[in-house]
Amino acid sequence: MQKLGGVLILMKNVNYLIGSENITTSPLVTYNDEVCKFLNDLSSEILKSSISRVYPDLSAVAFWARKASIHKLKEKFGDTSNRTGRGLCFHIAPSNIPVNFAFSYFFSLLAGNANIVRLPSKDFPQTEELVKVIKNTLEKYPSIYKRTAFVKYERNNEVTSEFSKIADCRMIWGGDKTISILRMMETKPRCIDISFADRYSICIIEGQEVLEADDSAIKRLAENFYNDTYLMDQNACSSPKLIYWVNDSELARTKFWTAVLEIAKQKYQLQDAVAVDKYTKMCEDSIDNSSLISKIDRVDNLLYKAELRIINKDVQNLRGNGGYFYEYSLSNIEDLFNIVDEKYQTVTYYGIDAQKLANDVANHNLKGIDRIVPIGKAMDIEPYWDGHDIIRELSREIAVR
């Protein structure tokens, strides 16, 4: 057992991939210059890595952390002269998204916090490579390095509880059950929790716009849709599960799905386990959800399309992976608004008026739908996520009168 910030931690159960139990917890100024420089250097180092050309999500991390991107975020944030981090932030990263932990870490770093990041329990090559590059880059930034610890351990509530006791804020990415367990753990009285619970995302496509699009536009649309869905096996909370068609037609659907299937054939590597899961899901849907689903089309094992006969609040329980989608022809937007609740996160769209949709969401007093973005932008994580202004919430302002 080791002592960390006055708390005993069961260190024998914790593997420190970066840093150690002797972490410095004093905060830095929000958007600290050295932190911004570190992120830009890290961006360059990621792009030098040969594996970044294999995994697009690593390139996305590098693009996000570049100097121009951080400068734009800082300008949008506003004055930081009287703003500082809260202290130590403890991160619980999602187990099914390889690089999400990095964005969580970046947000908290920019806020001015020291960080303990629990990495995904599942092994991903992207995670391993990114941790290695972060560690190597941190060696040039000792003040940030001593405020950073990346840890890995098997599911252990006792260890998680000890880290929670010393945290000034926590970033919790996980399902509803995980969040409930963590909220029962002892924390400091002033500890701030930002929780990212189980969410549901959808896509809205305007059929007439699809019909009028030329071949190059449809190819771009299909590639963007692929990046929103197949790239992460639809595991991300912002990845659409259900496709709503407005001004629907069979020709529009055929044109769209044919293009998507072609991209999937070129890029997607269907794992045996995912193939089995998709087929099992189809069988379960045929038996358990026949009241909602009218038919299921299976194309080359890469694409499953389940047509809904009705929509109600139960549709958010319909969740496919690896190219398993649900579809519904939406004749009236009110039908959608009648079933949206706080579980709904992202709407990706093509061919519709996004600002009008946002106004409608607000005017219908809906608790759900936090993001409305074009198809292809579902995975573009920002400091404004799930309705949270993350960097502002993870920092504190020193009030002067």
Task: Give the DSSP letter of residue 76.
Answer: H
Handedness of CA 260, 262, 264, 266 (dihedral sign): negative
220 belongs to a structural domain: yes
Strand pairing partners for 296?
A: 306
Domain boundary pick from 165, 198, 231 = 198
Q: What is the pLDDT along the chain (401 residues), one digit of tens a residue?
A: 444 444 444 456 899 999 999 999 999 999 999 999 999 999 999 999 888 888 888 999 999 999 999 999 999 999 999 999 999 999 999 887 889 999 999 999 999 999 999 998 888 889 999 999 999 999 999 999 999 999 999 888 899 999 999 999 999 998 788 889 999 999 999 999 999 888 999 999 999 999 999 999 999 999 999 999 998 888 888 999 999 999 999 999 999 999 999 999 999 989 899 999 999 999 999 999 999 999 999 988 899 999 999 999 999 999 999 999 999 999 999 999 999 999 999 999 999 999 999 999 999 999 999 999 999 999 888 999 888 999 999 999 999 98
> How many CB atoms neighbour CB 177 within 10 A?
10
389 belongs to a structural domain: no
Question: Are 222 and 181 within one domain?
Answer: no
Question: Are 42 and 171 within one domain?
Answer: yes
- Gap between the Cα atoms of 112 and 396, Å rounded: 9
Question: Are 14 and 115 within one domain?
Answer: yes
The predicted pLDDT at position 314 comes to: 94
Range of the domain at 99: 2-198
The predicted pLDDT at position 94 comes to: 85
- Gap between the Cα atoms of 92 and 118, Å rounded: 5
SS3 per-residue string spanning 264-316: HHHHCCCCHHHHHHHHHHHHHHHHHCCCCEEEEEEECCCEEEEEECCCCHHHH
Question: Are 160 and 254 within one domain?
Answer: no
* 319 and 343 Cβ atoms separated by less than 8 Å: no
Count of structural domains within the chain: 2
The predicted pLDDT at position 95 comes to: 81
> Residue 190: which CATH number?
3.40.605.10
The predicted pLDDT at position 151 comes to: 96
225 belongs to a structural domain: yes
99 belongs to a structural domain: yes
- In which element (H, E) is residue 165 found? helix 157-166
243 belongs to a structural domain: yes
Question: Are 137 and 42 within one domain?
Answer: yes
The predicted pLDDT at position 381 comes to: 87
Residues 236-269, buried b or exposed e (16+ Cβ, 10 A)? Answer: bbbbbbbbbbbbbeeebbebbbebbbebbeeebe
Question: Are 180 and 295 within one domain?
Answer: no
83-85/192-196 β-pairing: unpaired
393 belongs to a structural domain: no
Question: Are 167 and 206 within one domain?
Answer: no
Strand pairing partners for 56?
A: none
> Residue 332: which CATH number?
3.40.309.10
Helical segments of 13-124, H only: 33-48, 56-65, 67-77, 100-111
The predicted pLDDT at position 372 comes to: 96
Question: Are 258 and 351 within one domain?
Answer: yes
Question: Are 243 and 295 within one domain?
Answer: yes
Question: Are 236 and 181 within one domain?
Answer: no
* 75 and 36 Cβ atoms separated by less than 8 Å: no
Question: Are 352 and 238 within one domain?
Answer: yes
Domain boundary pick from 179, 198, 217 = 198
Domain boundary pick from 149, 172, 198 = 198
42 belongs to a structural domain: yes
384 belongs to a structural domain: no
Question: Are 249 and 119 within one domain?
Answer: no
In 3-state terms, what secondary structure has residue 324?
strand
